[in-house]
Amino acid sequence: MNVPSGTPLQQAIAHHQRGELDQAIPIYQQILSQHPNHADALHLLGLASLQRRQPKQAIELIKRAIARTPSEAIYHGNLGEAYRAVGQLDRAAACYQVALRLKPELADVATNFGLVLMRQGRTAQAANLFRQALQHQPDYAVAHNGLGNAYRQTGKIVEALTHFRRAVELSPQFGPAQTNLGQLLLDIGQPYEALPHCREGVRLQPDSAAAHNNLGNALRRLGELTEAKACYTEALRLAPNTPVILDNLGQSMQAERKYEEAVRWYEQALQLEPKALHIRTHLAEALSEKQDFAAAEAQLKIVLENLPDHPEAHFALARMRCEQGRIEEALAEYRSLLQRQPHNVAVNQLLGDLLLELNQPEEAVACFRRSLVHNPTFAPALAQLATHLRDKMSPDEEERLRRLIDEPQLPAPHRAAVHYGLAHLCDARGEYEQAAQLLERANALELAVRNERGQIYNPEVHANFMDGMVQLFTPQLFARTRGFGSDSERPIFIVGLPRSGTTLLEQVIASHSRVHGAGELRLVRDLFEKLGTNGDFVSEEVALEALRVIDADGVRRLADSHLEQLRAINATTDRITDKMPDNYMYLGFLALLFPRARFLYCRRDPRDIAVSCWITQFRTIPWANHPEHLASRFAQHQRIMAHWQEVLPVPVLEVNYEDMVEDLETVAQRALDFCGLSFEPACLEFHRTRRQVKTASVSQVRQPIYRRSLARWRNYEKSMQPLFTRLGFPGDAMSDSQSEESPAEVGAV
């Protein structure tokens, strides 16, 4: 189109090119009032109408221009855009074909044609058009973005990443490319790298629900749940009743352990899109996490009947099998997933964690390192290597881990993991002052993350709960309920503060041929918190009130329900252990249900417990990241254990961690005798036993007994003395032996 300078048309085009449509349009109209068939003016006025979101008017104007000048390729290309705007994709495709036949080098037309074909599901043909566009215009960002989408849909992840990155490099202000690159990085398990692209996508496209949704996804994956939910809420405002956004809100609630709310969001999404298998899978995961395995299995069955190779469903099934103790099935699921998705860092990480729990450290380390092949700065894998290998970590991996400390955009959960990992490394080398500094920062970060997620520990609330337990469980209550419970001797409950030796003691007992070690079960707490209801969780006050008036039938039903859940875990062995440390709070409740069960209480120097808690990144313990919370929790622990000593009508065997380290054989014999089991040599070879150990102590119990854990507190006496003082150890004023304030033996045997 050759336009003489200085003419009205040239003036209109200048305004148009600057985006000044209000100035350009009147000039086009004036030209057409004098020359109704002016092809260029008709076409440009049609283009301006399209830009003003008046596609029907644009179609009529551009068709008139084509009638006058049918050989102008760009006219046909823009008519295709107008048809695309009104959803008439076949007509749009026909226009693009004519335009490219007239002028094959029109890269924008080829790209727009490709976008239409993508919407029609003709991905291979679309990819060819994007390539055609790039042959004529190699630096065309929109074509690179389109080709990236085509590659992503056909599973060619590396190629897709290449083109998305090139699009962003060529045009940093092109919002869709930023959003697409961010989403793909999320898809392959790289949320840290995805976050800045997702943020930029929202900045460039503030009215795009998809951009807000993708940013929410990145934030959710990084544990920034409050901000993530705000993004989803904005996306839902922009696009109400969108199933994918409702699904993401459900996942946010699930991450906060608000399972009932999560289930409601998923069900709302499924009402809108009943065939959405990925949403049904997320519903199954929420049901599994709230221990409703039957309902979860039913949902996964629907998914896999429709799509047997659905990767998310197999992922969910693997994690559920872990929770159910069906470990071989879980391993098979994870390995099958990695055959399909070897680049998935999350699956590699979870498989590595599971292999550690199963005493297969070499293969576990290989999994963590395989994660790093696909994401060399994946903080969870590097931190796990440091925690497990300690001073045997490779120099290259250590350097990468140390570099992450100074990475300004590393999210808080990953930054905490980096600090914990490096603290273990320094601890192994005897660099205790540096380890102490790292731990100070690690726990501050972890505390901030928990507060952000709403996992705020309130010592006063816990103290009130202990008040309620002391007031309820009296000699009078036990006298009234004598004979109510089950006669079963199958359960073995191992209790104590975390890091007090419960895992080690369970591993010793579970190495016996007649014992199944079930690990840390949530069954007791769940049973307690559902008292007086039809299965819904209630407050502790409601549960205590229900116990106050419980009758023999009620106690028997609770006991039978618990035994049935134990049978679902293992139906063959004579005994089954539950080593959930916090069950010390429920000893009175358990004594009602199972007066003939075995109860073992693990003790350890409180200073060593405090140090071990301080250096551990717990997944579920909210009170271990603040000295005052630790001190308060320990004080309430001593208080309730002293109460149980006075009132429990059942024997409790006390086992000192220090005694296990000094003389394991004697302690093992004593514990087995107490449980009614004969001694077996395998119990002293506990570290060879192949069973799942789901606890932060997994590395320790996979080794023979070692003494370096005794009096470990001395290494941190300077940095942690204020906490030790709160625990009743005021420095030089106390001896190095255990404090006389520690609870005495409970229920002497």
Separation between Cα atoms, residue 687 and residue 699, nearest integer Å: 10
Give the per-residue pLDDT at 710.
Answer: 81
Separation between Cα atoms, residue 56 and residue 243, nearest integer Å: 30
Separation between Cα atoms, residue 560 and residue 487, nearest integer Å: 10
Phi, psi of 315 (to 5 degrees): -65, -45
Where helices occur in 341-407 by DSSP H, the ranges are 345-357, 361-374, 379-389, 395-405
Q: What pairing do the DSSP bridges indicate for beta strands 491-495 and 575-578?
A: parallel
Q: Which residues pair with 495 in a beta bridge?
A: 601
Mean pLDDT in order along the chain per 10 residues (749 residues): 72 91 92 92 93 93 93 93 93 94 94 93 94 96 96 90 96 95 87 91 95 93 88 96 95 86 95 94 91 90 90 86 79 84 83 82 91 88 93 94 87 90 96 96 91 82 96 96 95 96 92 92 87 61 88 94 91 94 96 97 96 91 94 97 97 96 94 96 74 47 57 93 92 45 32
Q: What pairing do the DSSP bridges indicate for beta strands 598-603 and 515-517?
A: unpaired
Give the per-residue pLDDT at 743.
Answer: 34
Give the per-residue pLDDT at 537.
Answer: 54
Give the per-residue pLDDT at 687.
Answer: 65
> What percent helix, strand, coil does the chain show, rounded to 5?
70, 5, 30
Nearest to 422 by CA among 615, 613, 611: 615
Separation between Cα atoms, residue 611 and residue 601, nearest integer Å: 20
DSSP assignments along 230-295, one per residue: HHHHHHHHHSTT-HHHHHHHHHHHHHTT-HHHHHHHHHHHHHH-TT-HHHHHHHHHHHHHTT-HHH
* Angle of CA points 213, 214, 218, to nearest 5°: 120
| Residues sharing a CB contact under 8 Å with residue 248, sequence separation 6 or more, in sequence order | 213, 216, 217, 220, 228, 232
Separation between Cα atoms, residue 31 and residue 26, nearest integer Å: 9
Nearest to 344 by CA among 353, 354, 334: 334
| Residue 222 DSSP code | T
Nearest to 613 by CA among 595, 633, 596, 593: 633
172 token code pair: 């940093």
Give the per-residue pLDDT at 742.
Answer: 36
Going along the chain from its start, the domains and CATH numbers come out as 8-217 (1.25.40.10), 484-605+617-733 (3.40.50.300)
Give the per-residue pLDDT at 3.
Answer: 58
| Residues sharing a CB contact under 8 Å with residue 364, sequence separation 6 or more, in sequence order | 351, 352, 353, 354, 355, 356, 388
Give the per-residue pLDDT at 642.
Answer: 97
Give the per-residue pLDDT at 5.
Answer: 60
Size of the chain in residues: 749
Give the per-residue pLDDT at 749.
Answer: 23
* Angle of CA points 120, 124, 129, to nearest 5°: 90
